[in-house]
Amino acid sequence: MALILFGIFVLAYGLSAILRPNARWFVLFGDPYATEKRYKFTRIRGILSLILGALFIFSIILNKH
């Protein structure tokens, strides 16, 4: 159950990185005020987090069945 919650957290992080790359939520991750130059990298990080979280949850579900 904890692993699924971790996967959901990674998905949420990736989604928020894509939708709001300069959000204050990123203060936790050391990127509070993303500049125009950093938007691209924040969005790439978000897309990679979405892919990683989806694969993580998918692999857990497959291993349980």
Q: At what angle do helices 36-64 and 2-19 cross, to 10 degrees?
A: 150
Q: What is the pLDDT along the chain (65 residues), one digit of tens a residue?
A: 777 788 888 888 777 777 766 655 555 555 555 555 566 677 777 788 888 888 888 888 888 76
Query: What is the model's pLDDT at position 43?
Result: 74
Host H or E run for residue 15: helix 2-19
- Name the residue ranges covered by the structural domains of the chain: 2-64
Query: What is the model's pLDDT at position 28?
Result: 54
Distance CA(61)–CA(65), nearest Å, equals 7
The pTM score is: 0.59
First to last CA, the chain: 15
41: tokens are 């990298």
DSSP letter at 35?
Answer: -
DSSP letter at 21?
Answer: T
Query: What is the model's pLDDT at position 30?
Result: 54
